[in-house]
Amino acid sequence: MEICGKKVSRIGLGTWKIGGGFWTPDKSRDKENLEIIKYAIEKGITLIDTAEMYGGGHSEELVGEAVGRSEDVVIITKVWPSHLRYEQVKRSAHESLKRLKREYIDLYMIHWPNPEVPLQETVGAMKDLMQEGIVKCIGVSNFSVDLLEEALKLAKIEANEIEYNPLHLEPERDVIPYCESKGIKVIAYSPLAQGRILRDQRLLGLAKKYGKTPAQIALNYVSMRSFPIPKASRKEHVDEIASSLDFQLKDEIT
């Protein structure tokens, strides 16, 4: 599978709370976080998701340092909804690129829609960033079908990042089918439902049946129609994630 014209792994790595929280940097675990990101890449994970909001940009700095100049890794980063005016988008993209230490941003996304800013203005800035070579392709996050239809009238949308996991299957009703019909990739955040899958009897039963962990069952299922981007805080988590597609799960969750 490809994103922005590059082949990527079917499972990515999310970096929320790696390097800090909501606009607040935390450098106390930088060494461990860098090791985790680098280890994920070594294990074949070539899709990494971050955002300017994560740790106030420190997550982007860690991702940039871990990835280096590798062209084999696709980096997604996102602009916060309070920065969606034309000049704000341009400024945010340049600042993200500086923190990532890359020649361009692979996939630049609107983190959340902002009804107070015309989508045409935001997408216009993103298209200009593409023309300038700062951004390779553009996407959105948390967009409904109606918003996707509006966005597609303005530009090619590479992907829509949404919450999607075995405990939150609502996107299968409308958003995912719409994206599939329009060639928009789906990127799934919270694919493990913030750990709640560990208490779900369906997943526990399937894990026993297949000899896998509940996390691997969840990721295997979600990867059928999206690119899940779970977070990993330890190397054993990365190992678990990386081996979650080495079996064939039947459609046993819905």
End-to-end CA distance of the chain: give it in Å, rounded: 24
Cα distance between residue 246 and residue 66, in whole Å: 26
Which residue in 71, 61, 21, 16 sits closest to 41, CA to CA? 71
Q: Which residue has the tokens 């300038």?
A: 132
* Tally of CB atoms within 10 A around 254: 7
Which position among 39, 54, 104, 221 bears the catalytic label? 54
Best CA proximity match to 147, nearest among 186, 115, 170: 115
Closest CA to 186 of 135, 142, 133, 125: 142
54 tagged catalytic = yes
Which residues are part of the catalytic machinery?
Answer: 54
